[in-house]
Structure 1
Amino acid sequence: MKACFSCGLHKPTLYRIRYDATKRWSFICDGCWPKFRRPHGNENPHYVYGGTWKGSSPE
């Protein structure tokens, strides 16, 4: 599992996003996603979704 860039919790599924003018990719969890997509209730002009990361399941 990877840690969410925002809250630091390790989650099995994270979303790769760009959310600011630096255009760096970050991984965030579903709980933190809304504050990057729509901060303060407004659309984020820098927001770009870059895919879903799913950790491998134990065999």
Structure 2
Amino acid sequence: MEECDRMIEAAEESGRILSVVGQNRYLDPMMKLKTTLDSGLIGRIVHAKVESHWWRGQNYYDLWW
């Protein structure tokens, strides 16, 4: 929370917009992972590597962004 507070403060001081995106955090696989991690069943995580392979069709890139 302290880090979040510092980020918010920095955004306010600089007149910038702070934005966070986590649109996949409530998908079933992510919720299952969180439940497993919170349960302590697999012990302490000392290293993690994530590779995310997304495919977006041309209509995604045709949008305003």
Q: What TM-score do you get using the length of structure 1 for normalisation?
A: 0.29
Rg: which structure is higher? 2
Query: Which structure has the highest helix share of the two?
Result: 2
Name the structure, 1 or 2, with higher relative contact order (CA <8 Å, separation 6+).
Answer: 1
Q: What TM-score do you get using the length of structure 2 for normalisation?
A: 0.27
Query: Which structure has the highest strand share of the two?
Result: 1
